[in-house]
Structure 1
Amino acid sequence: MGERGEPGGTVRNVVSGGQQGTVVQAGHIEHLVVQPPRPEEVTVAPPWGDRGTPLRGREPLLARLLAEPGVHVLYGLGGVGKTALALEAAHRFRRPHARVWWVGAHDDTRLTGGMRAVARHLGATDADLAAGMTADLVWERLSALREPWLLVLDNADDLALLDGPGRLASGTGWVRAHGAPQGLVLVTTRDGDPTAWGALPVLHALTPLPREDAVRALADRAGSEAGPDEDAAALAVRLGGLPLALDTAGRYLASVHERPTLFRAAGEPATYGDYLAALGSGDVTVDGDGTLTRIWEMSLALAESRGDTRARAVLHLLAGFADAPVPLRVLDPAHLPDATPAQLWRALQALHRLGLAELRDTTGDDGAEPVVALHPLVRDAHRTDAARALAQDLAARAAEADGRPEDIARRGFWSALVPHLLDITPDRDAPEHLWVAALCAGDHLKRRGLYGRAFAVLRPLAESSVRLIGENHKLTHWARTLHTSVLLDLGRFTEARAEADALVETCLRLLGRDAPITLRSRALAATAAQLCGDLDAARAASEAVHEVYARLLGPDDRHTLAARHNLAIIVHESGDVAAARAEYEAILAVETATLGPHHPDTLTTRHNLATALADSGERERAAAEYRAVLEARIRVLGADHPDAEATAVMLARTLPG
């Protein structure tokens, strides 16, 4: 509506309501030509030229997509190959009478323009589109089609755009259910939030390629001159199986080989091994032009636009941990004052939905442990020294709070935690929980039968603790005890005995004869003497230790039973098999009742009892015992644990023939 003044005076126009087209305000008009706004140019043709090397590792999912009409959402980390999979599906969908449309959905202009273009392909007129119900029109006409059709909405990362005139989760947005028997909708997105998508689509999480497929994808790009498969495998693992990273590395190597040697720079990587070494030294980066970083930055910006303001800080924190899944219980909000528990959980969920992190349970023989994992390249791109220090502190606090790497029931947690403890190198000023964490890591590795790795952790700690925190510190004694014990595990008996005797001398001088640490050291020295063949010294030491433990702790205490067991072994090795057998049986009864039938100590006693039975000539009964112990050790410790392997060897020796 308008208000007109005197001729030549001011014109005051008031425009209300929704407006489309052109609004003109003027006092006097002699001649007026109004051009309607030119529509944004769009294309809904698939980008066939982007389809290159064979698509690796996606065949099962690809077959399912092509066989199941409906709406399917492909979501995952930027660079994981969502668009490539959709393009391959579009290529295979092409056949006579099939219709394929490709709509870019990363901004409102392309999405709206693309869907209007699809509507025109379906016969919509200008009058139809002017009615302002394009979404309803498109889905009515798509549902009515009986011939095969495929609609791809690519890069639909901002799900608010898919709401369009209605609400995505309610089925009134730009993506809807349909009734076409041969109609397929594919949406590629970073966001796999099932709440936002609703019950409409089938969600498919795209993960990095498994090793074999990653190697093939890398070789597809790099060509035949880049090196052997084992080197390609090592590089593929370093790149985390991420298709875009594999493509980048492969193209780089191929480009080097396209040039004559004369035109290659000195030291320029030309093989998988060279490229891997250059990555390690920082001479080259997977993300040389910043493509990956930009993709991941877009995901973080999207999270922040939705109110997940702590997602960036949490991602940087996670990047400070080692290249391994992080147990969720390590992320204790009490030690993260900048975030409440609810905010921390929301940030983790946001990172998971956008594919920047993965929330899952580790499962296996160790049981389930909730963890969060980063892709190694995401970790590298966001890692800082400050985050690394904070991550080590959090992991160490979790280790100190638990403090039970020997507990079989907690092995899943420790298996997930230890990789984050291995980089900890305590110095003179390090708080005690860092020392505890480093020692717990070595203790866990030793108990898992990984003696070489345990030695590599414990030897430096045993040596540095004396110098840095003093020989009388309780953690120094612990470090030296663990180091000596793993020497015995490695079969370095003479070296271990010297270490054990030195440790006993220190304990006697500083702590006294019956102190708990001294007793453990004396028991260790007795075992070392026995393994070195000095049975008299071993018997005397074991008897003395057993007497003190029995007097102070009682006959059924674990330490008392261990000392009694050591004595039984010495009796056995001295040739009194009957006496040793009786002792094993008595000890086994108590351990079964107090520790449980599947505790490692109980199984060790039962193994030794089987040996005594075999030495007594009861081979069938011995074989039955070995079988039972082997089954339990495999279940509790794993088939590759040295104790399980030792039982398997003894069983084989006992069986007839």
Structure 2
Amino acid sequence: MGDSVRNVVSGGRQETLIQAGHIEHLVVGDARTAPDEVTVAPPWGDRGTPLRGREELLERLMAAPGVHVLYGLGGVGKTSLALEAAHRHRERGAPVWWVAAQDGTRLSGGMRAVARHLGATDDDLAAGVTADLLWQRLDRLGGPWLLVVDNADDLGLLDGPGRLASGTGWVRPHSAPHGLVLVTTRDGDPAGWGPLPVLHPVGPLARTEGAQALHDRAGESAGRPEEAARVAVRLGGLPLALDTAGRYLASVNERPPFLRGADEPASYAAYLAAVGSGDLTVDGDGTLARIWDMSLTLAEARGHTCARPVLRLLAGFADAPVPLRILDPARIPEVTPAGLWGALQALDRLGLAELRDRDGEQPVVALHPLVRDAHRTDAARALAEDLAARAADADRRPEDPARWPFWSLLLPHLLELEPEDGSPEHLWVGALCAADHLTRAGAPERGLAAVRPLAARAPRALGAAHRLSHWARTLEVSALLDSGRAAEARTACEALLRDCEEHFGPDGPVTLRTRHLYAVAAQQTGDVAAARDAYGKVLEVYVRLLGPTDRHSLATRHNLAMLHHLDGDPAGARAEYEAVLAAETRTLGAEHPSTLTTRHNLATALADCGETERAVAEYEAVLEARTRVLGAGHRETEATRLMLARTLPR
């Protein structure tokens, strides 16, 4: 044999057999993994201000031995919650071990260190059954103890020597009567964890608790609690963002005023204004963005390659839940239906988005406002607006109360539409549908605010004779009428009627609908003669072209009956209302809004004819139906409630 060689092996033991003919120097693992360089002490220095908004969950955890998983969005305060649980165990004299699980090296090294704390020797650990040994020793502990496994986002690492979901990984169920295991993670997928641990979602803080958390950091100089609450809402109750904002304000207020920059807000109000104007970025150093990017990288590593573009798309919508049905995969680049659903599920499990489908509601997906801000791009916004507008254009039933649950979800996204010259027609349709829905759903002032700029732009952008230009101006008149501004409505409608006669002819369908609207405006301004003349001309054409029971004919007959009533002929009005009501019930249905309006007015005519008992019965029936169909707070429901109160015998 040749000269002997002294081989040197350094680094932590890995239970690995190495066989070679000639080794001069070998390092097993990284020096950071050496047992004497692993700490399992909790990061007590990170525990500062009081933990807000988690007391109920914390009490449940303290009272429930076993394995519990705290999952949620990065920055939501999972580690802070676990640290508070560690503090309470320490106060009771119970042992606490804290294992970092960002990577396999720290996880396995930490678990080995815990085993050593429990009396395991190097020879025990060298046997290659560290996980089994660790949990056997934990099972035998009779008193309270806490093991925290922090930042366990990659569940594959928790498999360790076995399989996490089967109870053979690094984290396992145990039989210790007072032992508590807390795992913090972004991943709340029940399939990955299996049936053994209890999963607890950790969400953002509510308004009051968020304000308290912010005030704890910012101090008294930043302003009043109600101002802190407004900032907390803007930051979406995310504890890390609240902590960042509070530290910023506290830092500014530590300096004398003359040493502060003009662009450095020192109060809650100034901070909120700076964030709103874009002069101040909440995530100034990019901490939150890096945390969330780690989650996206993890989703992509699991095969959800669409996760990042889908998140960007969701960020393009308004700050409101997005109905899943408007996410058309055919119009989203490089996304398949299966890929879209998989990405949504992955984003939900990692806390970046929240899928909701509870109590029979329409399924939606929601983003935290700061996640939305961090991923919003102009291209994503354009695609989101296109999808929302196409959904509105395909439905086009904002007036139907049965469709209102969908339209109430779609509305915030449509209100962001600002069609201009060159915009495709479906963007105009979406924006106009939003205004129409607001007016019909009982918010005419909001409907007017939404439609007025559209009515001003459409004739220039589309042409005065374009159907959408006319629709926009018609919606403006309707919103004015429903807002009680009849004189303005009549003036606007007179101009619109002249243009319709020029562009569509005196008896064209568009002109007839506009003349009917003019009659309503004339009636509301007290000009009964002009209203009767306009209604008569419209009814004659409708009956000739469409028949006496068409909904347009019936609506006009209903309004002529109202004029009879105004002329002091409640008996004549009652007879006409009854005839219209019978036809509307057959053609529109007993609970169509128009049918209910006719029935309401019939009750009024009955009361004026002295038939109080029958009038009360009609009002009660209409009130019940309107409450169910339109909602208890709708202005038409409230009108029926008022008339019933006035009619009830005293």
Question: Which TM class, normalised by the smaller chain length?
Answer: over 0.9
Residue 177 of structure 1 pairs with residue 158 of structure 2:
no
Residue number in structure 1 paired with 2:389: 396
Equivalent AA in structure 1 for residue 620 of structure 2: R
Instruction: Return the alpha-carbon distance in structure 1 between the equivalents of residues 167 and 5 of structure 2.
Output: 50
Instruction: Return the alpha-carbon distance in structure 2 between the equivalents of residues 113 and 453 of structure 1.
Output: 61
Instruction: Return the alpha-carbon distance in structure 2 between the equivalents of residues 26 and 488 of structure 1.
Output: 95
SS in 2 for 1:358: strand
SS in 1 for 2:221: coil
Residue 143 of structure 1 pairs with residue 139 of structure 2:
yes
Q: Deviations over 1:377-423 (max 9, x none)?
A: 11111111111111111111111111211222221211111111112
Number of residue pairs matched by the alignment: 640
Instruction: Return the alpha-carbon distance in structure 2 between the equivalents of residues 294 and 35 of structure 1.
Output: 31
Instruction: Return the alpha-carbon distance in structure 2 between the equivalents of residues 610 and 153 of structure 1.
Output: 69
SS in 2 for 1:94: helix
Given candidates 240, 251, 256, the residue that maps to 2:252 is: 256
1:43-122 alignment runs, 5 A limit = 43-96=39-92, 98-122=94-118
Contact 2:151–2:185 (CA<8 Å) still a contact in 1?
Answer: yes
Instruction: Return the alpha-carbon distance in structure 2 between the equivalents of residues 563 and 362 of structure 1.
Output: 42
Distance change >3 Å, CA 631–CA 375, structure 1 → 2: same
Given candidates 215, 223, 227, the residue that maps to 1:227 is: 223
Residue 41 of structure 1 pairs with residue 29 of structure 2:
no
Equivalent AA in structure 1 for residue 521 of structure 2: A
Distance change >3 Å, CA 382–CA 600, structure 1 → 2: same
Shift of 1:57: 1.6
Residue number in structure 2 paired with 1:592: 585
SS in 1 for 2:97: strand
SS in 2 for 1:423: coil
Contact 2:76–2:204 (CA<8 Å) still a contact in 1?
Answer: yes
Residue number in structure 1 paired with 2:458: 465
Distance change >3 Å, CA 589–CA 92, structure 1 → 2: farther
Q: Deviations over 1:542-571 (max 9, x none)?
A: 122223223322333222221111111111
Given candidates 555, 576, 586, the residue that maps to 1:583 is: 576
Shift of 1:154: 0.7
Contact 2:35–2:113 (CA<8 Å) still a contact in 1?
Answer: no
What is the TM-score when the length of structure 2 is the normalising length?
0.94
Instruction: Return the alpha-carbon distance in structure 2 between the equivalents of residues 372 and 529 of structure 1.
Output: 46
Q: Which runs of 5+ in 2 are unaligned?
A: 7-13
1:413-562 alignment runs, 5 A limit = 413-562=406-555
Shift of 1:648: 2.6
Contact 1:245–1:286 (CA<8 Å) still a contact in 2?
Answer: yes
Q: Deviations over 1:221-275 (max 9, x none)?
A: 2222322333222211111111111111122112222222222222421111100
Instruction: Return the alpha-carbon distance in structure 2 between the equivalents of residues 519 and 94 of structure 1.
Output: 80
SS in 1 for 2:35: coil
Residue 299 of structure 1 pairs with residue 299 of structure 2:
no
Given candidates 330, 333, 340, the residue that maps to 2:336 is: 340
Instruction: Return the alpha-carbon distance in structure 2 between the equivalents of residues 381 and 33 of structure 1.
Output: 46
Shift of 1:173: 0.7
Residue 603 of structure 1 pairs with residue 599 of structure 2:
no
Equivalent AA in structure 1 for residue 495 of structure 2: A
Kindly report the root-mean-square deviation, in angstroms, between the aligned alpha carbons of the 2 structures: 2.4
Instruction: Return the alpha-carbon distance in structure 1 between the equivalents of residues 384 and 427 of structure 2.
Output: 12
Q: Which runs of 5+ in 1 are unaligned?
A: 12-17
Distance change >3 Å, CA 89–CA 599, structure 1 → 2: farther
Instruction: Return the alpha-carbon distance in structure 2 between the equivalents of residues 557 and 481 of structure 1.
Output: 21
Shift of 1:305: 1.6
Instruction: Return the alpha-carbon distance in structure 2 between the equivalents of residues 360 and 92 of structure 1.
Output: 34
Distance change >3 Å, CA 100–CA 512, structure 1 → 2: same
SS in 1 for 2:183: strand
Q: Deviations over 1:95-154 (max 9, x none)?
A: 545222211111111111111111122222222111111111112222222211221111
Instruction: Return the alpha-carbon distance in structure 1 between the equivalents of residues 574 and 67 of structure 2.
Output: 69
Shift of 1:440: 0.7
Residue number in structure 1 paired with 2:130: 134
SS in 1 for 2:220: coil
SS in 2 for 1:176: coil
Contact 1:362–1:371 (CA<8 Å) still a contact in 2?
Answer: no
Q: Deviations over 1:129-183 (max 9, x none)?
A: 1111111111222222221122111100011100101111111111111122222
Given candidates 572, 580, 591, the residue that maps to 2:565 is: 572
How high is the sequence identity, in percent, across the aligned residues?
69
Contact 1:569–1:580 (CA<8 Å) still a contact in 2?
Answer: yes
Of stretches 249-258 and 110-119 in structure 1, the one that deviates more from structure 2 is 249-258
Residue 242 of structure 1 pairs with residue 238 of structure 2:
yes
Distance change >3 Å, CA 629–CA 94, structure 1 → 2: farther
